[in-house]
Amino acid sequence: MNARMTTELGAIELKNPVMCGSGEMVIDEAGIRSALEAGAAAVFMKSTNESDVARAQLARSDYALLDSEWREVDWDFRPPPDASLFCRSGLTPQPFDAWLEMLATTDAYAREHDAFVIPSLIPADLDTAITYARRTEEAGARVLELNVAASHADEASQGALTLERSGDGVKRILSRFREAIDIPIWVKLTGQSGNVTELAKGARDGGADAVTLAGRFMAFVPDVETMRPVLGTHAGFGGPWALPITCRFLVEARKELGASFPLIGTNGARSRLDVIRFLLSGASAVQMTSAVFAGGFGVLRGSIDAVDRYLEEHATEASAIVGAAADRVATYAEQEERPGYWRKFVPEGSSDA
pLDDT of 293 reads 97
The distance from CA 263 to its chain's CA centroid, rounded to whole angstroms, is 11
Measured distance CA(24)–CA(298) in Å, rounded: 16
Evaluate whether residue 338 is within a structural domain. Answer: no
pLDDT of 160 reads 43
Measured distance CA(321)–CA(317) in Å, rounded: 7
Evaluate whether residue 281 is within a structural domain. Answer: yes
pLDDT tens digits for 251-269?
999 999 999 999 999 999 9
Identity at 274, one-letter amino acid code: D
The rounded mean pLDDT for the chain is 94
Neighbours of 179 (CB within 10 A): 10
Contact assessment for residue 249 and residue 232, using Cβ atoms and an 8 Å cutoff: no
Measured distance CA(9)–CA(344) in Å, rounded: 45
pLDDT of 150 reads 67
Spell out a b/e string for 193-226, using b for 16 or more CB atoms within 10 Å of the CB, else e.
beebbbbbbbbbebbbbbbbbbbbebeebeeeee
Neighbours of 17 (CB within 10 A): 28
Contact assessment for residue 199 and residue 192, using Cβ atoms and an 8 Å cutoff: no
> Where is 286: in which H helix or E strand?
strand 285-288
Task: Indicate the number of domains in the chain.
Answer: 1
Task: Indicate which CATH number applies to the domain containing 234.
Answer: 3.20.20.70
> How many secondary structure helices (H) and strands (E) does the chain include?
11, 18
Sign of CA dihedral 176, 181, 184, 187: negative
What strands lie across the sheet with 263-266, from one edge to the other? 116-118, 42-44, 18-20, 285-288, 263-266, 210-215, 185-190, 144-147, 120-121
pLDDT of 162 reads 56
| Predicted confidence (pLDDT) at residue 104 exceeds the cutoff of 90 | yes
Pairing mode, strands 84-88 and 18-20: unpaired
pLDDT band for 352, please (50, 70, 90 cuts): confident
Measured distance CA(202)–CA(175) in Å, rounded: 10
Evaluate whether residue 219 is within a structural domain. Answer: yes
The distance from CA 249 to its chain's CA centroid, rounded to whole angstroms, is 12
pLDDT tens digits for 49-69?
887 777 788 999 999 999 999
Phi-psi region of 199 (alpha: psi -120 to 50; beta: other; left: phi over 0): alpha
Evaluate whether residue 340 is within a structural domain. Answer: no
Evaluate whether residue 211 is within a structural domain. Answer: yes
The distance from CA 3 to its chain's CA centroid, rounded to whole angstroms, is 25
pLDDT of 57 reads 85
Sign of CA dihedral 40, 257, 169, 240: negative
149 preceded by cis ω (within 30°)? no
Q: Higher model confidence: residue 312 or residue 190?
A: 312
**Full domain range(s) for residue 180:** 3-330
pLDDT tens digits for 221-243?
999 999 999 999 999 999 999 99
pLDDT tens digits for 267-304?
999 987 999 999 999 999 999 999 999 999 999 999 99
Spell out a b/e string for 154-166, using b for 16 or more CB atoms within 10 Å of the CB, else e.
ebbeeebbbbbbe
pLDDT band for 341, please (50, 70, 90 cuts): very high
Average pLDDT for 20-37: 99
Q: Higher model confidence: residue 349 or residue 86?
A: 86
| Predicted confidence (pLDDT) at residue 94 exceeds the cutoff of 70 | yes
pLDDT band for 346, please (50, 70, 90 cuts): very high
- pTM summary value: 0.95
The distance from CA 300 to its chain's CA centroid, rounded to whole angstroms, is 14
The distance from CA 144 to its chain's CA centroid, rounded to whole angstroms, is 14
Evaluate whether residue 62 is within a structural domain. Answer: yes
pLDDT of 273 reads 94
pLDDT of 103 reads 98
Evaluate whether residue 231 is within a structural domain. Answer: yes
Phi-psi region of 13 (alpha: psi -120 to 50; beta: other; left: phi over 0): beta
pLDDT tens digits for 147-172?
998 654 454 444 444 567 789 999 99
Neighbours of 286 (CB within 10 A): 28
Evaluate whether residue 60 is within a structural domain. Answer: yes
Contact assessment for residue 293 and residue 331, using Cβ atoms and an 8 Å cutoff: no
| Predicted confidence (pLDDT) at residue 79 exceeds the cutoff of 50 | yes
The fraction of the chain above a pLDDT of 90, given in percent, is 87
What is the secondary structure of 80-141 as a DSSP string?
Answer: -TT-EEEEE-----S-HHHHHHHHHHHHHHHHHTT-EEE-EE--SSHHHHHHHHHHHHHTT-
Measured distance CA(79)–CA(67) in Å, rounded: 9
pLDDT of 153 reads 47
pLDDT tens digits for 117-145?
999 999 988 999 999 999 999 999 999 99
Pairing mode, strands 210-215 and 263-266: parallel
pLDDT tens digits for 160-207?
445 677 899 999 999 999 999 999 999 999 988 879 999 999 999 999
